[in-house]
């Protein structure tokens, strides 16, 4: 009896996923049309599109590639920031800082391992860090700002995130492909020594 209930629940979930835009296995049918790509500027503009996008290409920099600012979102853990190592060497992000421009709050990266080249760090704040409309900044342990997002807004718990596509443009949707190596860590909002 329990096996039948599990099978029914599984089929309901699979059916719901196939009904989502962009999740159909019918080639050429349904799904969103990608938004036209604009040439990147020094600070990417925020575009909305549910179109699938690939992980950003290595460019020799550490970049913010995704941000969830809605604390009530069903995404893993609610708010988070995803950093991408676009360098050719492993990078220790311990004691780097993520700052919210809207709240003025900042948190230190607390992570157990260095991020491999082409890998990412998914960082969850201890408490609510970001505002529902925010600009997120990333700085090294010595305070040098290395990246920031445009002003992004997410006022609903809809399981969508802001992410950077391969062109450097920011998009709002569900289309981020995670790198093959992702290390989870936290954003410590209380004072910790580095």
Q: What is the pTM (predicted TM-score) of this model?
A: 0.69
Residue-level pLDDT at 176: 82
- pLDDT more than 70, % of the chain: 66
Q: Which residue has the tokens 């009896």?
A: 1
In a domain, 38, yes or no: no
Question: pLDDT tens digits, residue range 61-84?
Answer: 999 999 999 877 555 568 999 999
CATH (domain of 150): 2.60.40.1260
Residue 173 in tokens:
């949707």
Residue 190 in tokens:
């209380």
Domain that holds residue 149: 46-188
Residue 14 in tokens:
């699979």
pLDDT-derived band at 142, boundaries 50, 70, 90: very high
| Direct distance between the N- and C-terminal alpha carbons of the chain, in angstroms, rounded to an integer | 54
Per-residue pLDDT for 57 more than 70? no
Residue-level pLDDT at 138: 98
- The answer to whether 143 and 117 are in contact (CB under 8 A) is no
């Amino acid at each position: 009896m329990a096996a039948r209930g599990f099978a029914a629940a599984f089929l309901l979930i699979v059916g719901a996923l196939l009904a989502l835009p962009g999740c159909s296995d019918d080639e050429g049918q349904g799904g969103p049309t990608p938004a036209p790509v604009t040439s990147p500027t020094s600070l990417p503009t925020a575009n909305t599109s549910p179109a699938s996008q690939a992980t950003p290409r290595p460019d020799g920099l550490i970049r913010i590639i995704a941000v969830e600012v809605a604390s009530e979102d069903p995404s893993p853990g609610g708010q988070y920031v995803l950093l991408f190592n676009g360098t050719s060497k492993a990078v220790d992000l311990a004691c780097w800082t993520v700052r919210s421009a809207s709240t003025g709050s900042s948190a230190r990266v607390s992570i157990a391992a260095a991020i491999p080249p082409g890998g990412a760090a998914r960082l969850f704040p201890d408490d609510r860090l970001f505002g529902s409309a925010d600009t997120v900044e990333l700085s090294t342990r010595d305070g040098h700002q290395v990246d920031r997002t445009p002003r992004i807004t997410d006022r609903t718990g809809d399981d969508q995130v802001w992410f950077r596509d391969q062109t450097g443009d920011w998009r709002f949707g569900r289309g981020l492909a995670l790198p093959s190596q992702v290390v989870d860590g936290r954003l410590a909002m209380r004072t910790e020594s580095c």
